[in-house]
Structure 1
Amino acid sequence: RRLDPRQRELWDNTYNKVLREFLSKNPTGKDLAEWKFQRYMRDYLKCIRSLDNNIGRVMDYLKENGLLENTIVIYTSDQGFYMGEHGWFDKRFMYEESFRTPLVMRMPDGAKDLKKRGDVPQFVQNIDYAPTLLELAGASIPKEIQGKSIVPLLKGKTPSDWRKSVYYHYFEYPAEHAVRRHYGVRDSRYKLIHFYGHDIDKWELFDLLSDPKELVNQYDNLSYTKVKERMHKELKRLMTKYEDKQEL
């Protein structure tokens, strides 16, 4: 929906000032990159503060109206976010800062058997949200849903067949973000990524234990040959499982 006149006035008062600052400095090269990054981060942190304030308003409303202990509160997102790591801001690439997605859940005090506090270290994906909410609501879970309910994990129990790896595929190229198409697989230690297209065919393999910042590509390192073979096999298995027809 469009901004109303008051919202438009607030927007213009803020960003016309930013535009004047930019035009007066007329940065180029490194100065331009630094100006963009600082401007982007300021806006991002203001957005975080606004979210924090408004989540607080929602929680206050639930409490004041006697609804807090009859409500499951969930905070999540579509992806994580780069704040300068790898020289980037925004998201989309499969590196950890973007790949790891926030998921925070607050359970009512009376929620039966569910953990009140603690982390869930197992792999969880956004395809798990729907079956989780359906189970918590007492509804049946359609068989065609690809995700799994994480309710057992919220009870402190790990099913024997819980996933040991996760699959990722980014399709949006060419587009305004200019992030190349890529897919990959991550397990508890390694990550395999393939960037593909008519003019690119690049593989990356990272050892997240020895290289948590993902700065050293081990794909052509002969000492990782067995790891690479295993990760390729797992990648193919997951692509088949999720019916992804992209050629390896």
Structure 2
Amino acid sequence: MKNNRKNTWIFLMISMMFLSSACSQEKATVKKKPNILYIMADDHTTQAFGIYGSRLAKLNPTPVIDKLAKDGVIFDNCFVNNSICVPSRAAIITGQRAQTNGVIDLEGSLRPENQYLPIEMGALGYQTAIIGKWHLHEEPAAFDYYKVLPVQGKYFNPDFRVKGNGQWPDNIEHTVGHSSDVITNSTLDWLKNERDPNKPFFLMHHFKAPHDDFENAPRYDDYLKDEFIPEPESLYDNKNNGSVATRGQNDSLTRIIGSSVSRRNLIRNQAMNIYADSSIYKNYRDADKIAASEYIPFNNTPEEQKITKKVYQDYLKKYLRCVKGVDDNVKRIIDYLDKEGLLENTIIVYTGDQGFMLGEHDYIDKRWMYEESMRMPFIVRYPKGIKSGIRTDAIINNTDFAPTFIEMAGGKVPDYMQGHSFKEILETGKEPENWQQATYYRYWMHLAHKHGNPAHFGIRTKKYKLIFFYGRYWVDTDNPDATWNKNSWGNDFTRKTPVAWELYDLEKDPKEMNNLYNDPAYNNIIDSLKVELITIREQLNETDKNYPHIQKVIDEHWND
């Protein structure tokens, strides 16, 4: 009897030891999962980096981020699905395209149950947080913690909506300082005081900067003060870029299409910010009321070029001062992770929510399918699992981010996500067999926000870009005679603009200065790209079957 009790006691002790060991191993396994820090700046375009080798690289605008990039992987062909804030962010959070996640413009929103990325990361044992710009209107309740700017937020003394601080959207916290500093302060505070050390973290740190209108912290007022900022050649001469859709017959629409650095665009140009109260600008006050037929092509005289040069220098310096503030604040985060021993087990991603036009083709803002607007910077550093010094031209887009993070965290990509994980590319620098060789783009907001960009879609491969400008606003299929609730867009978006195609040979013409659509030598390439475009639109649920008046235009002009 005593032996039986003794054996039972020994068995219980051994069992407890095994259980304790198993729990310790499980806990250790959780701890070994990499943290993921996703840093995204608003409108930080590839031209404003050193590593992307643009005309601005010699100014060394991003030394900290460049160092981060050289320690990891640099993507040269990362693209946005729609170069505007809300749809881009929705694609990142859902891993889905616009017509699947329902966010096609700036008024789109994501309900908590559709905030898939934090949901999936939470299910994998991650503590999730988002700090900074959110812009998806609904409460980011799927995150364990949030502290986000209301809509666009302010550059100085920004307010935040904070989880646990009352009911959305009245859960406001007031702060003092420049947004880039304050957002970083908030991230560091979360890492120090809110982070659960027993869990890996998934933290989205979103800067407001360098979104326009640019406002830098005062300490950067003299940064680049005496520097001459290199200009793009196309600022003064756009050559054969564009089409009748973007320029009109005999350049008649250049006065209203594409917001400009120069005074070319009568409705919105950067010169307005300098000369708004000056006699040099007085003739442009009511330009948006002028009928399109009355526009006279812009006379780019030496005097106008002198004005443009001054405006451009002011515009770029303000932008780059905001970028400098972002770069310095990234260093603060890296230094903290290093000090706390977290750096080596943290996957650090740096990107922008889209590209941005910095005077190329005399354009400002984004929205275009042109390279500077469509291309996203994308770098990843993770010493434990990614070799340094990798550079890849593999095509990825922002719907691929969520699947990749999920797989890097040890999960399986859900079937409802349309993006693809590029984990293998991160680890090997090589494209998997059958990796995507093209990406699809769609800008819906026809002539919106006084920027004057016509609606368009297209396909981008490594060698070519084919764009279709269909020149129409869309209507509700349940009420074809009424437009949707888009009055907040500004502009007369019901106006139709010319329909046209554009083709660019990106190997020969990387700056897209020569539209080759009417060159017979490219007929076979155009035919092949159109077939691919039809296929990719169907695969991604991005057709116009719900927009019959747009489909009618497509059918009528597909073979133009």
Superposition TM-score, scaled by structure 2 size: 0.40
Question: Counterpart in 2 of 1:131?
Answer: 403
Selected match of 2:363 from 72, 82, 88:
88
Call closer, same or farther: CA 1:27–1:57 in 2, change over 3 Å: farther
Find the aligned partners of 1:68 and 1:168 in 2 and give their Cα distance: 35
Deviations 1:188-224 (A, max 9, x none): 2111001112332110011112222211111111111
Find the aligned partners of 1:39 and 1:172 in 2 and give their Cα distance: 28
Call closer, same or farther: CA 1:185–1:154 in 2, change over 3 Å: same
Find the aligned partners of 1:20 and 1:216 in 2 and give their Cα distance: 31
Call closer, same or farther: CA 1:225–1:74 in 2, change over 3 Å: same
Question: Counterpart in 2 of 1:235?
Answer: 533
Question: Counterpart in 1 of 2:462?
Answer: 188
Call closer, same or farther: CA 1:208–1:46 in 2, change over 3 Å: same
Deviations 1:109-128 (A, max 9, x none): 222xx323211211011111
- Whether the 8 Å CA contact 2:459–2:533 is kept in 1: the answer is yes
Q: Does 1:207 align with 2:505?
A: yes
Find the aligned partners of 2:439 and 2:462 in 1 and give their Cα distance: 9
Call closer, same or farther: CA 1:22–1:164 in 2, change over 3 Å: same
Supply the AA of the counterpart residue of 2:517: Y
Q: Which one has the largest radius of gyration?
A: 2
Find the aligned partners of 2:398 and 2:276 in 1 and give their Cα distance: 42
Question: Counterpart in 1 of 2:37?
Answer: none
Q: Secondary structure at the match of 2:525?
A: helix
Find the aligned partners of 1:33 and 1:116 in 2 and give their Cα distance: 41
Question: Counterpart in 2 of 1:64?
Answer: 339
- After superposing on structure 2, the runs of 4+ consecutive aligned residues of structure 1 that deviate more than 6 Å are none
Q: Secondary structure at the match of 2:470?
A: strand
Which is worse superposed, 22-31 or 75-84?
22-31
Q: Does 1:97 align with 2:369?
A: no
Selected match of 1:117 from 370, 375, 389:
389
Deviations 1:158-205 (A, max 9, x none): 221101111111112232132111111111211100111233211001
Q: Secondary structure at the match of 1:185?
A: strand
Aligned length: 238
Q: Does 1:159 align with 2:432?
A: yes
Supply the AA of the counterpart residue of 2:431: T
| Equivalence map 1:67-78=2 (5 Å) | 67-78=342-353
Call closer, same or farther: CA 1:73–1:224 in 2, change over 3 Å: same
Which is worse superposed, 115-124 or 159-168?
115-124
Question: Counterpart in 1 of 2:26?
Answer: none
- Whether the 8 Å CA contact 2:454–2:497 is kept in 1: the answer is no
Deviations 1:211-243 (A, max 9, x none): 222111111111111011001111111111111
TM superposition shift of 1:32:
5.8
Structure 2: runs of 5 or more not aligned = 1-149, 158-174, 179-214, 219-271, 285-303, 472-495, 545-550, 555-560
Find the aligned partners of 2:511 and 2:340 in 1 and give their Cα distance: 45
Question: Counterpart in 2 of 1:168?
Answer: 441
Question: Counterpart in 2 of 1:27?
Answer: 280
Call closer, same or farther: CA 1:178–1:110 in 2, change over 3 Å: same
Selected match of 2:524 from 226, 230, 238:
226
Which is worse superposed, 45-54 or 19-28?
19-28
TM superposition shift of 1:36:
4.2
Which is worse superposed, 26-35 or 220-229?
26-35
Q: Secondary structure at the match of 1:134?
A: helix
- Whether the 8 Å CA contact 1:207–1:218 is kept in 2: the answer is yes
| Alpha-carbon RMSD | 2.6
